[in-house]
Amino acid sequence: MKTVITYGTFDILHIGHINILKRAKALGDKLIVAISSDEFNAGKHKSSLLNYKNRKAVLESIRYVDMVIPETNWEQKVTDVEKYNIDIFVMGDDWEGKFDFLKKQCEVVYLPRTEGISTTQIKEEL
């Protein structure tokens, strides 16, 4: 059984999120999604329209997602790979190369983003 993990804020769910979750799940048997806690977002000077509890509930209802965990710090990725026996670490290709240090522990895959949509774009239009 292959376990896949991905990270993000997952605020204002859109087709780009669904696409990346679907493609990440297709790489393995189990998909874990780590979403930024409200405190972690604040520390990054980033805000979400939805709080952690709401974002978690939405992600848990998506059929591609098997488990949702909180992301509380940048360093957590290394320990999560070990803790959850991760085989494949997945991020959007805008992070290309940033997590290559994890290749010692697991496969690292950067997936293309869905063109024409992003949370930032939606927030700007609101």
pLDDT higher than 60, residue 123: no
pTM of the model: 0.90
Confidence of residue 125 (pLDDT cuts 50, 70, 90): low
The model's pLDDT over 18-72, given as tens digits with 9 standing for 90+, comes to 999 999 999 999 999 999 999 999 998 887 889 999 999 999 999 999 999 999 9
Residue type at position 102: L
Q: What is the pLDDT of residue 30?
A: 98
β-sheet bridge partners, residue 36: 71
- Give one DSSP letter per residue of the chain, joined into a string: --EEEEEE---S--HHHHHHHHHHHHTSSEEEEEEE-HHHHHHTT---SS-HHHHHHHHHTSTT-SEEEEE--TTHHHHHHHHTT-SEEEEEGGGTTTTGGGGGTSEEEEEPPPTT--HHHHHHH-
119 against 14, higher pLDDT:
14
């780009």: which residue's tokens? 16
List, by residue number, the catalytic residues. 44, 46
